[in-house]
Structure 1
């Protein structure tokens, strides 16, 4: 039997590191405002009490977390040892390779402690969990001060697990609180080389790359070498903060036997503009199955109306008649567009 080529010894590009203190958040915000690539802010959150507790010991970090638990069951995942911590699909892609269920935080932490003391290779994972709802009071001393922004804050914890490469629409400042995590990041345009899985369902609800970045199978996924050439990788220490620009693909790997991450998600455009993935789903319905010539014609129309770098080049239309072409789109015209689209979708 031919053995698959799974070498992963690739010299990834390094993520740029910046050293600023907690008192320099205005400067941090100014830097990321124009950033189009990932950035690491070394030690930016090392003053957080949870970080200091984790530097003392895993037990101290776990005890600190439990002080804020709202006694609400959280969703935890258990991954059998043969999957080596990979949060993924089953072999038939009819479901997932883990078992999930609700349990008190104390139970999840106890399972993590057992794995530390008597390792079986079982992956234990808690995905995106809202801080305000499940850990009230935690944010008061353990979140970044982002000025006028109101980010969604979520906690993630587990042992040596890895989450397949995916993208998020919001911008993200990810605080590595306990343990070490490795991020492998790919520019948005590398989607064609990442072998994306089903759209209907995915482990985290967002389409993922089918490639195991830690052990890529180049016989099965040859184009992934092109994605590797453009990828960046970084291992975060406790207290480091990673800025992930909107739409960058990233695989996340827990390096240590207990690690905790805090994400700050926000969008830099008004909420009334809606979610771009809704447009993608509508395009799947109405455009994807058209004949090639028609799809190419619509591509030109989308380029003109949507992706043109000079979107405000409408001087040939009186401003009062521009309607939905107004740049930037205002809330009134957004509401009109939404109502018109909603009516048409119901026909």
Structure 2
């Protein structure tokens, strides 16, 4: 049962290679009903989980995949151990065929172990998959990953890239939150997290409102998307999302891409540098730097710097070209050595 009443808006008649621009530029999530209905993996899964597994086996190149295994008492929740010094699932490298065998063997098991293959690049492990199960987004050069498992609960987190997530076998539920809800999601440590990304510590299956009272406010801003086989979810950059695998054999295919060139670097690095150099300043100085950041970054508008001749704008030029970005990065690296 979902904790959220508001559903993500549904869009129909979107097909691979024919996604309207308003979808890809949306500032809110959108469900694309039936987007991948014609994909072979979807058709195989509708036949049976065994057929879906056989389809994956036919493309698999034999390289070990990274998978997570949790005892039945994890109940599908990929999370920390009790004292948050590690995780409740063991990470192992395994032959995908063995993983698929275990998933199929535990179908119908009322207390199955948690079995989860996360973020496997299809081009690296399943050559040919993307040719016949293609989202028609090659102009974005997306990173296309596959996720395979049984009943699972992945803690709310955000990703920097945009994402087109296609539910191809089984059913998925996404509970999504706008970026400004971070303060109400009780995010855990930055250095250690199950998937390498900061996560909410709230257990969505049994929220502790005494320990996490502001989570009620987050739920008021949340939306839910229940995905059937063939459905896709467009998830804009930075939206928090909690993901559940609702059936005992699930396959998801994600497509991640950025709106800016890779040479601009990762925004997370700027955050870490700000934690190092700004967070411990006195409040008045933090306020002063907030005004500076607003001026140059967050509230910046086209034309704000027209009073500076273009020839001398330097790093304030917009957008930065590759050479300028490399020069700025080199300057930062040099200063960080001190």
Same fold (TM over 0.5): yes
**SS of residue matched to 2:191:** coil
Matched, 1:77 2:68: yes
**Is 1:17 aligned to 2:10, yes or no?**
yes
**Relative to structure 2, which stretch is displaced further, 177-186 or 28-37?**
28-37
Gaps (5+ residues) in structure 1? Answer: 1-7
The alignment of Structure 1 onto Structure 2 pairs a total of residues equal to 338
Aligned to 2:95: 104
Aligned mates of 2:66, 2:217 — CA distance in 1: 36
Shift of 1:311: 4.8
1:66 is aligned to: 57
2:322 corresponds to: 331
Counterpart in the other structure of 2:260: 269
Matched, 1:36 2:27: yes
Query: Would the aligned equivalents of 2:24 and 2:234 in 1 still touch at CA under 8 Å?
Result: no
What SS does the corresponding residue of 2:318 show, helix, strand or coil?
coil
What secondary structure sits across from 1:13 in the alignment? coil
Q: 1:21 to 1:189 in 2, by over 3 A?
A: closer
- Return 229-238 or 116-125, whichever deviates more: 116-125
Shift of 1:192: 0.5
Give the structure-2-normalised TM-score: 0.97
The equivalent residue for 1:53 is 44
State whether residues 153 and 263 of structure 1, in contact with CA within 8 Å, keep that contact through their aligned partners in structure 2. Answer: yes
Match of 1:154, SS state, is: strand
- Match of residue 208, structure 1, among 187, 191, 199: 199
Query: Residues 134-180 of structure 1, C-alpha deviation per residue, up to 9 Å, x if partnerless?
Result: 11111110120114110000000100011000000000000100000
- Aligned to 2:139, the other structure's residue is in SS state coil
Write the deviation string for residues 61-117 of structure 1: whole angstroms up to 9, x where unpaired: 000000111101111111122221100000100000011111101111111112115
Q: Residues 155-170 of structure 1 correspond to what in structure 2 (within 5 A)?
A: 155-170=146-161
CA distance in 2, matches of 1:55, 1:252: 21
Q: Match of 1:246?
A: 237
In structure 2, distance between residues paired with 1:21 and 1:273: 31
Q: Secondary structure at the match of 1:67?
A: helix
Aligned twin of 1:230: 221
- 1:34 Cα deviation from its structure 2 partner: 2.6
- Structure 1 residue ranges (4+ consecutive) displaced by more than 6 angstroms after TM superposition: none
Partner Cα distance (2:191, 2:115) in 1: 25
Spell out the pairing of 1:109-188 with structure 2 (5 A cutoff). Answer: 109-188=100-179
Task: Pick the aligned partner of 2:250 from 250, 253, 259.
Answer: 259
Q: Distance in 1 between matches of 2:114 and 2:288?
A: 48
Q: CA deviation at 1:9?
A: 6.3
* Residue 11 of structure 1, CA deviation: 3.8
SS at match of 1:116: coil
Q: Which residue of 2 aligns with 1:193?
A: 184
- The 2-side partners of 1:260 and 1:9 are apart by 21
Contact 1:54 / 1:61 at 8 angstroms: preserved in 2? yes
- Using the TM superposition, give the Cα deviation of residue 312 of structure 1 relative to its aligned residue in structure 2, in angstroms: 3.7
How much does 1:273 deviate?
0.7
Which segments of 5 or more consecutive residues in structure 2 lack a partner in the other structure?
none
Q: Which moved more, 1:130-139 or 1:140-149?
A: 140-149
Matched residue, 1:278: 269
